[in-house]
Amino acid sequence: MNIVVLGAQWGDEGKGKVVDLLSRHFSIVARYQGGHNAGHTVYAGGTKFILRLIPSGILQPGVSCVIGNGVVVDPQALLAEVDELEKNGVTVGDRLVVSDKAHLILPYHRELDLLSEARRGERRIGTTSRGIGPAYEDKIARRGVRVGDLAQRALLEEAIRHNVDARNRIIRDSAMDWRVVMAELEAAWTRIRPWVADVSLYLARARAAGRRILYEGAQGTLLDIDHGTYPYVTSSSASVGGVCTGLGVGPRAIDGILGVVKAYTTRVGEGPLPTELAGPVGERLRETGQEFGAVTGRPRRCGWFDAVAVRYTARVNGLDALALTKLDVLDGLDAIEICTGYRVGGAVTGDFPSDCAQLAAAEPVYEQWPGWAAPTRGLRRYGDLPAEARRYVARLEELTGVPVAIVSTGSGRDDTIVREGSLAEAWVA
Ligand code: IMP
């Protein structure tokens, strides 16, 4: 039983917590795309962990964590994260596996990210400035440097020297010294080397041995390079297709697909967000939900649940079930709205537009539901939720066409409801 857990909105849905919860029932957690632009927040044993590159499964003893070829790896960021975990009593040791085919984020990628944003001006994307886009650009342009290249000193030196010189010509006033870049990589390699492997082979053998694998997505489907709100997206395949290309596994290696959604909507960075609330309700969601970027600290834009968007991401991913997070953030609201359609050019549609400009012009059509007075925070049984909260969940299921299998009612590992009779019961068996 191998499952995918991915974001079905614009990222920050609470995947870290869901993966942490499920991973104790799996033997391997594998990341397939993105880089340290991700920020998966998990509260475990009273400590707050923010995982960027290493799968959230690392917090469960005995779980092996894989960084696939679809991920872009900043060696310094990876080692800093390992050090941070070990400092907090989490032993990484031989539980980490890093693909030799994963591409490296190098110092010039970070500079290029900043430069590109500055040049875009008004049209900037609002990236996390971690060098993610430029690293994927080099990968697609076939001039990237991969983790496995670190083992071949002469070839690596040639590539680094050539790439740094080329970037120095692009970045005005930059005089990056390739020798410094090289020295840093060599130092990192001595620590990274034991973790490097052929991930496709590793996972095939693990499956043959009956080990259970959880494939962990980063960001969200609406930030996917192909299916997201292009150009306001990240540069990787955050939807389910990324599992196969980013790890070297076939589609039949997937038995279930869980989409994580917040009980409302957030987005960080630029780009359309039809249900965005600029007034006091948006502010309340941001404060109560602590909606500030885990990586950059930027305030997240907040709005009502967008059922049009989630119905779309359910289709793109073939979602089997939803994990609904942060339901408790809605506690105490008099009324709650759900976006059921968009008014585009005078007509109402239930289909998510492919064109970003059309989405930006779309006016949300809402239906209103009563809120609930009794708190849901920390509840662990579905039947204990106030009737209005259950009705809200049922309506989201109807509108998105996907059953809600897991409800999260707080940030703690155990503030979670796994619904009886849902698919998730088999995943935690
Ligand atoms: P990049 O991935 O740094 O290139 O940023 C591209 C877009 O994706 C920006 O709008 C970022 O705010 C957004 N983004 C990247 N990573 C995350 C994430 O983990 N959560 C939410 N948004 C993200």
Rounded to the nearest angstrom, the distance between the alpha carbon of 387 and the centre of ligand 1 is 36
Q: Is 133 in the pocket of ligand 1 (CB under 6 A)?
A: yes
Q: 354: which 2 tokens?
A: 């492919």
Q: Is 107 in the pocket of ligand 1 (CB under 6 A)?
A: no
Q: Is 265 in the pocket of ligand 1 (CB under 6 A)?
A: no
Q: Omega before 231 cis (within 30°)?
A: yes
Q: Where are the beta strands (DSSP E) in 52-124?
A: 64-67, 72-73, 96-99, 103-104
Instruction: Please state which CATH number belongs to domain 3-100+195-253.
Output: 3.40.440.10
Per annotation, catalytic residue among 12, 20, 149, 328: 12
The CB density around residue 429, as the number of other CB atoms within 10 Å, is: 7
How far is residue 259's CA from residue 321's CA, in Å, rounded to a whole number? Answer: 6
For residues 53 and 36, is the Cβ–Cβ distance under 8 A? yes
Q: Is 39 in the pocket of ligand 1 (CB under 6 A)?
A: yes
Per annotation, catalytic residue among 20, 36, 40, 149: 40
User: Which pLDDT does position 411 carry in this prediction?
Assistant: 87
User: Which pLDDT does position 39 carry in this prediction?
Assistant: 86
Question: Is 83 annotated in the active site?
Answer: no
How far is residue 130's CA from residue 146's CA, in Å, rounded to a whole number? Answer: 17
Atom number of ligand 1 nearest to Cα 113 = 4
User: Which pLDDT does position 412 carry in this prediction?
Assistant: 86
Question: Is 162 annotated in the active site?
Answer: no
How far is residue 414's CA from residue 380's CA, in Å, rounded to a whole number? Answer: 8
Q: Where are the beta strands (DSSP E) in 74-135?
A: 96-99, 103-104
Where do the structural domains in the chain lie, given as residue ranges? 3-100+195-253, 104-192, 262-427
The residue contributing the CA closest to ligand 1 atom 9 is 127
Looking at 2.40.50.140, 3.10.580.10, 3.40.50.2300, 3.90.170.10, the CATH number of the domain 262-427 comes to: 3.90.170.10
Rounded to the nearest angstrom, the distance between the alpha carbon of 233 and the centre of ligand 1 is 7
Lay out the sheet containing 64-67: strands in order across. 196-197, 96-99, 64-67, 28-31, 213-216, 3-7, 256-262, 321-325, 404-408, 416-418
Pocket test for ligand 1, best of 261, 268, 295 (most atoms within 8 A of CB): 268
User: Which pLDDT does position 137 carry in this prediction?
Assistant: 97
Q: Does domain 104-192 have CATH number 1.10.300.10?
A: yes
Chunk the chain into consecutive blocks of 10 residues (it has 429) and report each block's average pLDDT, rounded to whole numbers.
97 93 96 94 84 93 97 97 94 96 96 93 94 98 96 96 90 84 97 98 98 97 98 98 98 97 97 96 96 88 98 98 98 97 95 96 98 96 98 98 97 92 93
Q: Is 134 in the pocket of ligand 1 (CB under 6 A)?
A: no
Q: Is 33 in the pocket of ligand 1 (CB under 6 A)?
A: no
Rounded to the nearest angstrom, the distance between the alpha carbon of 126 and the centre of ligand 1 is 8
Q: 68: which 2 tokens?
A: 């696939």
User: Which pLDDT does position 134 carry in this prediction?
Assistant: 97
Q: 41: which 2 tokens?
A: 């927040």
- Token pair 């041995």 is found at 209
For residues 348 and 367, is the Cβ–Cβ distance under 8 A? no
